[in-house]
Amino acid sequence: MPAADGRGRRFFHDPPETEAPMSAFPNRGLNLALRILGATLGGYALCWAIFELLCAWLPFERATVWYLTGQLAPLPFLGVLLWAFITPSAARALYAPLLLAAVIGLPGWLR
Amino acid sequence: MNALGKALLGLHAWGGMIFGWLLVPIFVAGSIAVFEPEISHWMRPEVNSAPFSPSTATALGEARLREVGGAAPIWRLRLPNGREPSIGIAWGSNPRALKEETLDAASGWPLAPRKTEGGHFFTHFHAELLLESPGKWIVGAIGIVLLAALVSGILVHHRIFSDFFTFRPGATRRRAWLDVHNLVGVATLPFLLMITYTGVVILAEAFMPAATHALYDGKPRANRAEVVKSFERPARGEPAEMLPLTTHLAAAEEILGAGAVTMLTIRHAGDRNALVQAHRQVNDRLSAVADHVTFDAVTGELFGQQLDWNPMAYAYRAMVGLHVVRFGGAALHWLYFVSGLLGAAMMAAGIVLFLRKRRQRHGADRAQRVLEAMGIASVGGGLLACAALFWANRLIPATLAGREQVEIYVFFAVWALSLAHALWRGTAAWCEQFLLAGILCLLLPVLDLATGNGLRDAIRLAVDLTAVLLGGLLVVVALRFFGPARLPAGEVAP
Amino acid sequence: MMQFVWLACALCLIVFGMGALALGMARHYQQVFGTPAPAGSARRWRLAGSGALALALLCCTVGWGVAIGIVLWVGLLAVGVLVSALALAGRR
């Protein structure tokens, strides 16, 4: 890959080359599987939890809330998918979104 | 590149390539689907493109409905327009399963166009891969991966601003392909982000029903029922004479605008409680909502109207509208068509790049051959299958029972054959499949002339001309980008 | 058809505008004119380019209304970028 020019964004490109921290799952297949699982299950759970929260807490009429959540649907999935592959630990890719979903979803679900 | 950049690039490259196998056909089908009405018209050469007027069409449609509709509780009359120059009538009791008939717009004669999915095949394939509910989940997931690929692509693009206009066709093949991938991707970035986001929004209703469960106890389409006002009443049981539909059409046009009515729905025709509902066009606004007005069929007085919408629902339907592009006329349709094909080309270039890079690293091992074949089948095969559908539509006899299924079988058979061909021929298949697809497109006007029932009209001519242009482009791409020409020493085609 | 006129104007303005923005980059200026860009020329080219793009937006909104006009304009920008890039590539 050619080096970044002077104005290039340093965040992603500049050396020093840091090795990815040794993952707890050196088996690449398992690493990948965990991340994919995290992206799918975690993304779905988080989106569901956010929707439940919004539906329970937003003070608007039903149809308004429904059509609002609909417009936001891609965002939790996108966020979790990116997170699942950039987080250094594959285990975190799986448990973090599920944990977040549980934390968010609980108040909404209890109501 | 640091670990974060590497991770993003890995997600972008692998996610992009593997999901690209389906994304390229989805984008190609979606671009073609912009012209669904025109293609359906091309695929039904029995339908004449006669000059029409809304009031005459209404009268003719009503006459035919009285003949065949009988006592059906629902009658429907779709008025002809510039993109669908025929009258469509339907009748029955289940609004989702009505018997339909097409009438000539000038004479009112019932036509018997050949059974075909028409342009709707491309829409159906694009949205659901023909699979209904599981297809929505799959395409939704694919869309989310594309969003991630776009975001990660932006983040790892080394020089997104300084390379904004950069294209070096004379540099190494790999540099040139990367330039194409980056240039086309950045140029169409707003379109790609918008079309993918809105597409996922549309499908999310099916695969993410959390809000439906939380707000409406899981009842599907309950949200729609709350937002779209319904003006209905049961039949009284007393027969009564309706006013002519043309009267109702005129009254509707007073409220909705002259020439703006697209459809009339008649409920309980012949009963004292009959109602006539007129729907407005959606092609002059961003939001895909159709204002509507309902009249008492016997007296003509206003029974109900909806010209205002829940603002949040309006915004949501604006997202839908942005995706399906019913608005803006020819300019917007062609813009979306070209942008969609450019998006497909960008992804195809990405697939080519991935394959080249992997080949240089791993040589032509077994996995490489399989990956190459999948890439070729996805891009070249997808194009071939779409072109083959047009040929199948005209070559399969019009009276064959179940011919609409046969057309679809041909589509998938050609696609499967292209995969087999790619596995057999390796990288040479790029050129061969693009060349064949290009030739099929170039010869489309000849096919139309030979099988078109002599009913050449502007819409079919436009389809033919577009096919010729695309065919020429495919042939040029086949010979210049994938052809066996001018390879610097050590370079691998493509 | 007035819309066709507005479209033609918008397209010309966008192609010119994107080309001007490209010429506001030192690398592309040198590519086209052979000599390094004089001082201040980048700013002038970028101003001209942005002005043309803004005028194009006006054409689109006049011809299609605000909402649809903006969508059309954003879509046409892609055409401008690609035409400019291809024109520059031809000069290598």
Instruction: Return d(Cα A69, Cα B201) in angstroms, integer.
Output: 10
Q: In whole angstroms, what is the distance from residue A24 CA to residue A11 CA? A: 25
> What count of CB pairs under 8 Å joins B to C?
73
Judging contacts by C-beta atoms under 8 Å, the chain C residues touching residue B165 are 18, 22, 25, 28, 81, 84-85, 88
Amino acid at C58: L
Which positions in chain B touch C25 (Cβ < 8 Å)?
Answer: 162, 164-165
Are the beta carbons of C71 and B188 separated by less than 8 Å? no
Residues 245-264 of B with CB under 8 A from A: none
Distance (Å, rounded) from C-alpha B280 to C-alpha B289?
Answer: 9
B400, amino acid identity = L
Per-residue pLDDT tens digits for A25-35: 567 889 999 99
For residue C1, pLDDT over 90 is answered with no
Residues of C with CB under 8 A from a CB of B: 3, 7, 18, 22, 25, 27-28, 64, 67-68, 71-72, 74-79, 81-82, 84-86, 88-89, 92
Does A57 contact B at CB distance below 8 Å?
A: no
Give me the residue label for tokens 């609002």. A68
Spatial distance between the Cα atoms of B36 and B26, rounded to a whole number of angstroms: 15
Distances (CA, A) of A88 to A20, A22, A35, A97, B323: 7, 9, 10, 14, 36
Asked if the C-beta of B144 comes within 8 angstroms of chain A's C-beta atoms, the answer is yes
Counting as contact any 3 or more CB pairs under 8 A, the partners of B are: A, C
Q: A31 — contact with chain B (CB < 8 Å)?
A: no
Q: What is the C-alpha to C-alpha distance for residues A29 and B303, in angstroms, rounded to an integer?
A: 64
Tokens, residue C42 = 């980048």
- The Cβ-side half-sphere exposure at B305, using a 13 Å CA radius, reads 14
Assess whether pLDDT exceeds 50 at residue B19.
yes
Name C86's Cβ contacts closer than 8 Å, sequence gap at least 6: B167
Length, in residues, of chain A: 111
Give B-chain residues touching C18 at CB under 8 angstroms: 165
Burial class (CB in 10 A: 0-12, 13-18, 19+), B404: middle
- pLDDT 10s digits, A65-81: 999 999 999 999 999 99
DSSP A89-100: -HHHHHHHHHHH
The per-residue DSSP string of B15-42 comes to IHHHHHHHHHHHHHHHHHHTTHHHHHHH
Name, in order, each residue with C-beta under 8 angstroms of C28's C-beta and a sequence gap of 6 or more.
Answer: B165, C22, C88
Kindly tell me if the per-residue pLDDT of A64 is higher than 60.
yes
Longest alpha-carbon distance in chain C: 44
CB B102 within 8 A of CB B43: no
Strand partners, B92: B74
Do B10 and A18 lie within an 8 Å CB cutoff? no
Q: In whole angstroms, how far apart are CA A58 and each of A61, A62, A63, A69?
A: 9, 9, 12, 11
Min mean pLDDT across A11-15, B48-52, B98-102 is at A11-15
DSSP B161: T
Instruction: Give the residue from B158, B228, B309 with the most A CB atoms within 10 Å of its CB, the best one to mutate.
Output: B158
Closest alpha carbon within chain B to A14 = B1
Residues 295 through 324 of chain B touching chain A, CB cutoff 8 Å: 310-313, 315-316, 319
Chain A CB contacts of B152 under 8 Å are 82
Chain B residue with minimal CA distance to A16? B2
* Rounded distance between C-alpha atoms, residue C13 and residue C51, angstroms: 9
Q: What digits encode the pLDDT tens for the residues B262-274?
A: 999 999 999 999 9
Nearest to A62 among B226, B315, B319 (CB): B226
Model pLDDT, residue C92: 62
Whole-angstrom distance, CA of residue B363 vs CA of residue B15 = 21
Task: Inform me whether the pLDDT recorded for A7 exceeds 50.
Answer: no
Cβ–Cβ < 8 Å for B32, B336: no
Residue contacts between A and B (CB atoms, under 8 Å): 134
User: Chain C closest CA to B257's CA: distance in Å?
Assistant: 17
Q: Which residue of B has its CA nearest to C67?
A: B286
Cα B38 to Cα B44: distance, rounded to the nearest angstrom: 10
Q: Interhelix angle for B311-324 vs A62-72, to 10°?
A: 30
Measured between alpha carbons, how far is B441 from B439 in angstroms, rounded to an integer?
A: 5
Answer whether B208 sits within 8 Å of A44, measured CB to CB.
Answer: yes
From the CB coordinates, do chains A and C have 3 or more pairs under 8 Å?
A: no
Shortest CA gap B328–chain C (Å): 7
State the burial class of residue C1 (Cβ atoms within 10 Å of its Cβ: 0-12, 13-18, 19+). Answer: exposed
Examine the pLDDT at B140 and tell me if it is beyond 80: yes
Residue predicted with more confidence, B453 or A68: A68
Q: Identify which of B70, B59, B63, B203 has the alpha carbon closest to the alpha carbon of residue B127.
A: B203
| Interface touch A71/B2, C-beta < 8 Å | no
ipTM of this complex: 0.96
What is the CA angle B473-B479-B482, rounded to 5?
A: 105
pLDDT score recorded for residue B485: 54
CB-closest option in B167, B332, B339 to C86: B167
Identify the bridge partners of residue B264 per DSSP, sorted by sequence position: B77, B278
Residues of A in contact with B159 (CB under 8 A): 4-5, 8
Question: If we measure between CA atoms, which residue out of B487, B168, B162 comes closest to residue C92?
Answer: B168
B452: enclosing H helix or E strand: none
Question: Distance between CA atoms of B253 and B257, rounded to whole angstroms?
Answer: 5
Asked if B6's CB is within 8 angstroms of A7's CB, the reply is no
What's the pLDDT at B48?
85
> A110 CB near a chain B CB, below 8 Å?
no
Mean pLDDT of B111-117: 93
Pair of tokens at residue C67: 């909402």
List pLDDT tens digits, range B392-408. Answer: 999 999 999 999 999 99
The CA distance from A95 to A33, in Å, is 13
φ/ψ (deg, to 5) at C24: -80, 0
Q: Using an 8 Å Cβ cutoff, are B41 and B84 in contact?
A: yes
**pLDDT tens digits, A82-110:** 999 999 999 999 999 999 999 998 876 67
B148 touches chain A (CB under 8 A): yes
B7 to chain A: which residues are within 8 Å by CB?
20, 85-86
Q: What is the mean pLDDT of residues B78-83?
A: 94
Identify whether the C-beta of residue B407 lies closer than 8 Å to the C-beta of residue B121: yes
Give C24's pLDDT tier (boundaries 50, 70, 90): very high
- CA–CA gap between residue B315 and residue B227 (Å, rounded): 12
For position C37, what pLDDT does the model report? 87
Is C86 in Cβ contact with B186 (below 8 Å)? no
Q: Is the pTM of this model over 0.90?
A: yes
- Please identify which residue in the block is written with the tokens 């697209």: B262
Q: B231: closest CA among B180, B262, B274?
A: B274
pLDDT at A17 over 50: no
Q: Name chain B contacts of A44, Cβ cutoff 8 Å.
A: 208
